[in-house]
Structure 1
């Protein structure tokens, strides 16, 4: 049991390559953690880490040991959860990173429902554009819009949603703008383009037909919410999904334009650094897929 505990501590240090971060995640002091790692190295008779005042690097033996220990520790955690009944009564803290627009418009009601269903689970939520490092930071999962990540190879992506995307503008903008009857007419319009959408050209689809349209966006943004707000103010045309635009559609501030045409849907993935998920993480991912209509697909890069 002591050796397994050493493995658990070592895996966290190897993941973060930082004793302080690892100690914070494990709930112990850096000095205690350092003594335990030193005891592990003494126990197995091999140097696992190169330590300096600024960083920690794995030795060749340490890298090999980490690759073997990580799976052992994950399997032990899953087995321990099952034995102590956490699978039936999940508890603990669920740490999630997510895009702010998706969090507000999609995840907030799902999170509220999940929290009511599982009252023993606490949440630490990081909503923003920053892409957290799941290997170095103590997050259970990250929600990301767009293609599954190509690197690092240890990440696992589970698709939880597929968002349709259409073109929207305000009646006030359309009243004073050039005619808009065909995708080619977009070249004469002001466009509000959010991140994740090609800046130099779009491919629009009408059933089996498709058309590549060159565009020149005046507003380039990193927020779909801001793109929606600008379109509602009559600034130009935005690419949005129905859920993001629902309030403005209901109030008449926005309307769909070129309604026969749309952009390719954008996938949303739950990203983890392992296939072996804790009970609370597995439950949450399954809950998201059920509520958001995600396909049952797992991609490991």
Structure 2
């Protein structure tokens, strides 16, 4: 019978791409990890990892072994969860990563509700706009807002919301410059644009028409909150997700222009590693986030 602890160490080393990184994450000495993986390889009589001072490579049989070992650990953790009552009351730490705007506008209230609903649960939110590797960095859930479909990364993808993108401006701007009557009129208006848009907005109407909007770029920024503030101040027309500008539209600080048109949709997707996504605590967090984000 193989040592289950050795399987755990092996999976952690593969998950984190090496002995040193796994050691930092799980708090076990690097020498212990190397010794236990070597013992595992000796027990089964096959090399699982090719390692030198410069390279770390999982062998082909090691990759097959990893998939089965991961599945075994999932079942072991699930069994432990049942014993500890985690199915009835999720506990432990769940690590979440999201971009800064997503964290600010989509997660603040749901995370407070999670804290109230599951007092034994600990939430660790890492808000960053850099690329995050969920598996390598030990995250359970990533919340991604995106326009284009996400690439097939081997992660569980759970689409939870689609938010229309409105064209908005301040009442003062509309009063001074007038409201565009069709997408072609945008050439006579100041635009508050993102760098990635190149100053061109791809628009769709309620009747299925497609058109391009080409405002005169007044300001370009990759941060939506900056464009929102600029729109409030009357500097031009901005394309903003509904959830970002809804409060301003309700209060009258902003108004929709070309209200029959939208500039696409922002899709919100939860990403989870297969192994972590099956834990009761992670499922509970993902379910609540999906429900609250879907409600908008």
TM superposition score normalised by structure 1 = 0.88
Q: 2:185: which partner in 1?
A: 185
Q: 2:289: which partner in 1?
A: 288
Q: 1:233: which partner in 2?
A: 233
Q: 1:150: which partner in 2?
A: 151
User: How many angstroms apart in 1 are the aligned matches of 2:71 and 2:194?
Assistant: 39
The one-character-per-residue Cα deviations of 1:227-276 (angstroms, maximum 9, x if unpaired) are: 21221222221112333113433454322111222233221000012175
User: How many angstroms apart in 1 are the aligned matches of 2:149 and 2:5?
Assistant: 33
Q: 1:8: which partner in 2?
A: 8
User: How many angstroms apart in 2 are the aligned matches of 1:178 and 1:252?
Assistant: 17
User: How many angstroms apart in 1 are the aligned matches of 2:55 and 2:192?
Assistant: 43
Aligned residues: 293
TM superposition score normalised by structure 2 = 0.89
Structure 2 residue 118 is the aligned partner of structure 1 residue 127: no
The SS at the match of 1:12 is: helix
1:63 CA drift (Å) = 2.1
User: How many angstroms apart in 2 are the aligned matches of 1:30 and 1:73?
Assistant: 21
Q: 2:103: which partner in 1?
A: 103
Q: 1:279: which partner in 2?
A: 280
Residues 95 and 140, structure 2, Cα contact 8 Å, conserved in 1: yes
User: How many angstroms apart in 1 are the aligned matches of 2:175 and 2:55?
Assistant: 60
Alpha-carbon RMSD across the aligned residues, in angstroms, is 2.4
1:30 CA drift (Å) = 1.8
Q: 1:257: which partner in 2?
A: 257
Shift of the 220–76 alpha-carbon distance from structure 1 to 2, 3 Å rule, reads farther
1:177 CA drift (Å) = 3.2
Structure 2 residue 195 is the aligned partner of structure 1 residue 212: no
The SS at the match of 2:209 is: strand
Q: Mark the runs of 5 or more structure 1 residues left unpaired by the alignment.
A: 295-301
Residues 95 and 123, structure 2, Cα contact 8 Å, conserved in 1: yes
* Bigger mean CA deviation after superposition, 6-15 or 65-74: 65-74
The SS at the match of 1:110 is: helix
Q: Mark the runs of 5 or more structure 2 residues left unpaired by the alignment.
A: none
User: How many angstroms apart in 1 are the aligned matches of 2:132 and 2:110?
Assistant: 22
The one-character-per-residue Cα deviations of 1:38-80 (angstroms, maximum 9, x if unpaired) are: 2111211222212233452212322222233222222332233
Residues 49 and 62, structure 2, Cα contact 8 Å, conserved in 1: yes
The SS at the match of 2:134 is: coil
Structure 1: 4+ residue segments shifted above 6 A:
none
Q: 1:168: which partner in 2?
A: 168
